[in-house]
A and B are shown apart, each in its own frame.
Chain A
Amino acid sequence: MSKAAEIDIASVSKIYGKTTAVDAISLKIPAGSYCCLLGPSGCGKTSTLRMIAGHESVSIGDIVLGKDVVTHLPPAKRGTAMMFQSYALFPHLDLVDNVAFSLKMSGVDKETRRARALDMLKLMQMDGYASRKPAQLSGGQQQRVALARALITDPEALLLDEPLSALDPFLKIRMRAELKKLQKQLGITFVHVTHSQEEAMALADLIVVMSDGRIEQAATPREVFERPATAFVARFMGDHNVISGKVLGSSNGLVSFEVVGGATFSASGAPRPAGTDVDAAIRTDHVRIGESPVKGLGFTGIVSNLEYRGPTVKLTIEGAGIAEFTAIITDTAFYATPVAVGDAVPLHWDAGDAIILGSPDR
């Protein structure tokens, strides 16, 4: 296998008529890493991937792969290979001819290309199905063939457009483990587009959260989850309560703010000028029942909904000017002091679990 390439995206924009799908994004994807572009539909993640692949022209900016500027090269000359969302296997060709397609296009003779395609199918454990047509395969098998077809060109980077979205939930988990293993084994750069934060967390070395054609945050999964940069990231990654208010003052690494028509809270973060709008994120699973020993790190609200989830119980609480606050409590803690819908319940958390988020306009 060839060496992996670093992908450098330098203030790249994609403009369709009057709409900007990708807005001047810059991103460095280290060589040999597994990068997930994550975001809701229409956030520009697929356009970004397609621009790296060369299936979409770059309106402004440059894309560098390894040492080469590939901005205006055709897809096959970039050293990338793409795996399509629905796999796009050729329905009229058997698996060997599907995998050997790119070799046929470059004029490799029949014997050689069939032998190499068979080797590739063997790597994917699909050699037993070599003479079948794609329609005779299950979703997971089709994905392996699509991978084999993409990898036979010996790419420096593999681009995957929502590769797991066509699979059922069980297969999804199995195939994503296979993807991760394959990436480790080949050591090439993978760029994977997904709208599932769970998938991104499970696979990525680098998560790039996108929204409205911009990058909200690009960091390791742990960093993105524990220190979301913006309210959007906190909401999209889930498991966070996002509360908004106006800054009252800052001291000792804590910013205190007031929820409009509600209570005063404090959260850790860099000082902010008083009076400005601010968002803070509080981990839902770090919230505990009980009076807060410190002012600003808890509130008392009315339970509006209860969901039993086995190991945990999900409480939805309303109060202190917050319409919906989620607390995930372990079943042990919950049944030690059970509450019912309509009860007033005090909640608190540690200073480190409440963090100030970047303002929406950054």
Chain B
Amino acid sequence: MNNLLMRATPYLQATPLLVILGFFLAIPILLLLVVSFWDYDFAGMYPDFMTLNYAETLGSWVTWRTYVNTLKFAVTVWAITTFVGFWVAYFLAFHVRTATMQMVLFLVCTVPFLTSNIIRMISWIPVLGRNGLINSGLVGAGVVEQPIEWLLYSDFAVVLAMVHLYTLFMVTPIFNTMMRIDKSLVEAARDAGAADWQIIWNVILPLAKPGIAIGSIFVVTLVMADFSTVQVMSGGQSASVALMMRNQMSLLQYPAAAANAIVLLVVVLFMVAGILRVVDIRKEL
């Protein structure tokens, strides 16, 4: 009896995590997969096994255009957040001298995250709007005669808001990797005659790659699954895959949305696998 308990202990210890992952991850995805093969009409869903939902999703040019649009957002936001994230992390890790100041400045970076996504997003509207801060400033200063239209409710606004929302997800892992770079490596490089840009290119950038990869996974998955930013900031003029699913759900086309979700899941998993193939992040885990 005692022996049995001893052998069961590790399983018991693993149970809470198993239950949580099972209920909140495995079962929902399984349900999604099952429902994606069901039939539906305007009134309800009917258990079935048909591939029509997938055929409709993959066969429609709307889907393809939406994917292209979403990927465009993902690539643009990824490029900008990587650039900004690298330099912010570089400044924090290599140019701020005291550990206290590093922590203070890092916390300053996280302050905006104490409010909700929606609020941070909506707060752009009075800045970018037709009669917003920037336009009234530019018109008042006589730089432009008419308010600039593309500032708000445009792809520009979507990308701007996404960069604002997601840059920290890039800064944090890169900062974390950079803090682990031995400072004497920088001195050794300088001793070997490397200029500042050569040190960054030959030493810091290669050693920060795992952090960049982890940040890229965060940003890419977040952008691919985003619908609220696209909806609010584009004013409904731009589409994303998640937004397309939301529209299907509001029309009670749950099986179609489920099929769409499975396709998106597969695409995102391939993207993550691609990132992991390029960079080995095992050392960071």
Chain A residues packing against B (C-beta within 8 Å): 53, 55, 74-77, 81-82, 84-86, 88-92, 101-102, 104-106, 149-150, 153
With the chains together, A92 CA to B204 CA distance in Å? Answer: 10
What chain B residues lie within 8 Å of A77 (beta carbons)? 193
- Among the 9-residue stretches B67-75, B136-144, B184-192, B254-262, the one with 4 or more Cβ atoms under 8 Å from chain A is B184-192
B265 surroundings in chain A (CB, below 8 A): none
Determine which of B182, B189, B192, B206 lies in contact with A86 in the assembled complex, contact meaning CB atoms within 8 Å: B182
Docked Cα-Cα span, A150 to B191, in Å, equals 9
Closest to B188 in A: A88
Which chain B residue shows the least CB distance to A53? Answer: B191
- The CA-CA distance from A82 to B195 in the complex, in Å, is 17
**B252 within 8 Å of A (CB atoms):** no
Please tell me if the beta carbons of A76 and B192 are within 8 angstroms of each other in the complex. Answer: yes
Q: Mark B7-20, 1 if CB is under 8 A from A, else 0.
A: 00000000000000
Q: Output the least CB separation between B21 and chain A (Å).
A: 34
Contact between A105 and B187, CB atoms less than 8 A apart: no
Min distance, Cβ B32 to any Cβ of chain A, angstroms: 41
- A76 to B, closest residue via Cβ: B193
**CA distance in complex: A88, B184 (Å):** 6
B residues 95-118 with Cβ under 8 Å of A? none
Give residues 174-206 of B contacting A (CB, 8 Å): 182, 184-185, 187-195, 198, 202-203, 206
Interface of B is mostly: helix
Bound CA span A314–B258, Å: 85
Q: How far is the CB of A269 from chain B (nearest CB, A)?
A: 45
Q: Is A102's CB under 8 angstroms from B190's CB? A: no
CA distance A179 to B146 in the complex (A): 75
Q: What's the interface size class on B, roughly?
A: 10 to 19
With a cutoff of 8 Å between Cβ atoms, the chain A residues found around residue B191 in the complex are 53, 55, 75-76, 81-82, 102, 150
Is A104 within 8 A of B182, CB to CB? no
Decide: A102 and B192 in contact? CB cutoff 8 A. Answer: yes
If the complex has contacts A74-B190, A76-B190, A76-B192, are A105 and B182 also in contact, measured as CB distance less than 8 A? no
Whether the pair A105, B192 counts as a contact (CB closer than 8 A) is yes
The answer on a CB contact under 8 Å between A92 and B206 is yes
B184 to A86, Cβ gap below 8 A? yes
Q: Which of A55, A85, A92, A101 contacts B192 (CB 8 A)?
A: A101
B203 touches A55 (CB 8 A): no
The answer to whether A90 and B185 have CB atoms under 8 Å apart is: yes
- Cβ of B34 under 8 Å from chain A: no
| Interface pairs A-B: 3 shortest CB-CB | A76-B193, A102-B192, A88-B188
A74–B202 alpha-carbon span in the complex (Å):
19
The answer to whether B207 and A92 have CB atoms under 8 Å apart is yes
145-186 of chain B: CB within 8 A of chain A: 182, 184-185
Whole-angstrom distance between the Cβ of A310 and the nearest chain B Cβ:
41
Known: A104-B202, A105-B198. A88 touches B185 (CB 8 A): yes
* Chain B residue contacts of A90, Cβ below 8 A: 185, 188-189, 203
Cβ of A102: which chain B residues have Cβ within 8 Å of it? 191-194
> Does the CB pair A106–B182 fall under 8 Å?
no
CA distance A197 to B160 in the complex (A): 62
Give complex CA distance A106, B193 in Å.
7
B residues in contact with A76, CB < 8 Å: 190-194
Q: Hey, which chain A residues are within 8 Å of B202, CB to CB?
A: 101, 104-105
Name the A residues within 8 Å of B195 (CB-CB). 105
For residue A47, give the distance in angstroms from its CB to the closest CB of chain B. 14
Name the CB-closest residue of B to A81.
Answer: B191
For residue A153, which residues in chain B have a CB less than 8 angstroms away from its CB?
192-193
Having A92-B207, A105-B194, A105-B202, one finds 16 other A-B pairs with CB under 8 Å, namely A53-B191, A75-B191, A77-B193, A81-B191, A84-B184, A84-B187, A86-B182, A88-B184, A88-B185, A90-B188, A90-B203, A101-B192, A102-B191, A105-B192, A105-B195, A105-B198
